[in-house]
Every structure is written in C-alpha cells, then in structure tokens.
Amino acid sequence: MVQMRGFKRMLIANLDTWLMNTIKYFDFFLRYAGPVFACVAVVLISGVIWTWFTFVLPDLAAPRTLGRYVHISIAFFLIFNVFYNYLKTLFTPPGTPPEDYGENLDIEGGLNEETKHWDGFGRFCKKCRKAKPPRTHHCSICRKCVLKMDHHCPWVANCVGFRNYRTFFLFMFWLWVGCFYVMATCAPTFFRLLRTTRYPHYEGPGSTPVTFSFILAISVSLAVGFLLSWHVYLIVTAQTTIEWYNNRVKAAEAKRRGQAWHNEWDAGYAVNAASVLAVSGGGSSFVWWFLPTLGGPLGDGTAFPTRSNPCLPAAPGRAAPPP
C-alpha cells in the first residue's frame, strides 16, 4: 500500500512536469510561429482577391458598365476593411497596465499573490511582480500582462486585448461578409466550370483557382461565422473568453448554494456593445462602430462599466475600478 501511494505521487509529479514542459514548448512554438500564420492568412486572402479580379469579375459584368463599377466599388470597400482591421490588430499592442497603476496600493502589506478582485482573479501578477487592474491577465506567450485579455491568437501573431479587440472583431465581421460576397459572385462561374456531364474534359482558364477560392470561401465563412457568433455573445454579455470559463464555474457554485449569480461587468446589451465598439472621437451612431477609425477604445483599460455603474469611461481619463 505504501509503495502504491509512492508510485502514485511519483506518477502525478512526472505528469505535472510533462504537462508544464509541454505548455512551455507550445508557448515557444506559438511565439515564433505567429508571423508564419499571419503571412499564410495574407497570402490566402490575397490569392482569393487575385482570382476574383482575374477570373470572376469578367464574368459578372462587361467592362465600362455600371455593374462592373458597382462590383469593383463593393470589392474595394470589403478589401480595405478586411486588411485595415487585420493589420491594425496585428500591429496594435493589446495594452499593458499603466506604469503608475498600483502606486497607491499597499503591495508589500495588503496586496499579495492571494489578493483577489471581486471576480476571483488575482490583483497581483506573480510573473511581472506588479499589481493587475481588473480583467487583466498575464500572457505566457507574450510574457506580459495584457489589459482585458481575451486570448492569444496565432493568426494575428498577437494577443487580443483591450486596445485591439475591436479591430479583431471587425476583421472577423468583414472577412465573413467578404466570404459571402465571394461565394455569391463566384457561384455562376464555379458551377459553369463543374458542368462535367456536358463538358467532361473541360479545363478552362481559372478553373483551379476559382474552385479553390469558392471552396475556401465556404470553409472560412463557416469557421469565422462560428467564431464571430461566439464573440458577439461575449460582447453583449460583457465577457472575455477567459472570463467565460471563470463565470461558468462561479455560476455553477452559486447554483449549488441555491443563489443567483450575476456578472458584475454586464451593464446591459447596449452599454456592453458600446464599451467595445465605440471609439474616442468617433460618431455616436452605431453605424460608425463597424467602420474603420483612427480613434482608440474608450477609457484606459483599468475600469469598465458595471451593473451598479453602467457609465462608459471617458478617454483617456481613468475612473476608479469597482470594488
């Protein structure tokens, strides 16, 4: 029996070591493979654009016609929005805690590794050895704390956080719209190329790139559509991907105690959406939420609207964090 216990302890210790090493190597892989993923994404999108202009557009409308100009205008509008938001997400730092954050907090006395925010997450980063604002988490891949961190995305070679979450969401939105536009406009050409019963040996110009682009657009629209729907849900419920996992645990614990659990960050659908999509200096209409802007997010990433105080933070001022 004693030997069995000792074997179990050794097995658990070895599994723990193996798991930690696996995570470390996976983080290392993502850290340096991110630019490769980003280049692959740009190449695929650019290939579909080239195929559309070279083989699909001539089938849609004759040169110098109104239809041709309409299709070109729509295409350039979608291309600009996709690449603008993608590159902005790629090159915009997600945001780190201000250097002066925590100066008035008793880090040595009252604030330590065990001190928690109201949502259960720590107020002190063990890796950075600094105070963490609410909704801030340490990214092991970027090796820094990220304001309102959602996740680390290899396809943008960057963390998705407070300062680039809006453009990440808009990139998915416009890419999804663009995929549907490609499918709708490619369909006549694609199905014409598939008439193998009438033309069994037909290999017309552009058959391979058009087929590849059409199938790629379908696949990406399904994958991105699912991810986009997920983030719409997170936005309107005022959660990040990390918080969603934690909130599920909190809700289950409250249910076992016969209590109702509420997300304190949930200030209502409209406020939740505005806190993500509205920008400093932007228009008040929700239409502007989906258009490219030069302004940054509201606030500085250390305070957010709550159920008890559903006011959007001003930019760049800082409001007091919730208790």
**Catalytic residue flag (residue 153):** yes
- Give the torsion through C-alpha atoms of 230, 79, 271, 262, to 10 deg: 10
Q: Nearest CA to 220 among 32, 47, 34, 36?
A: 47
**Omega prior to 188 cis, within 30 of 0:** no
CA distance 313 to 112: 28
CA distance 62 to 78: 21
Fill in the amino acid letter for 188.
Answer: P
Question: Residues 277, 166: contact at Cβ < 8 Å?
Answer: yes
- Distances from the Cα of 54 to the Cα of 48, 50, 51, 97, 206, angstroms: 10, 6, 5, 47, 8
Fill in the amino acid letter for 111.
Answer: L
> What's the token pair of residue 227?
């991810």
Instruction: Out of 139, 145, 153, 159, pick the active-site residue.
Output: 153
The separation between the first and the last C-alpha atoms of the chain, rounded to the nearest angstrom, is: 50
Helix axes 269-277, 207-236, angle to 10 degrees: 130
Query: Any idea which residues carry the catalytic annotation?
Result: 153
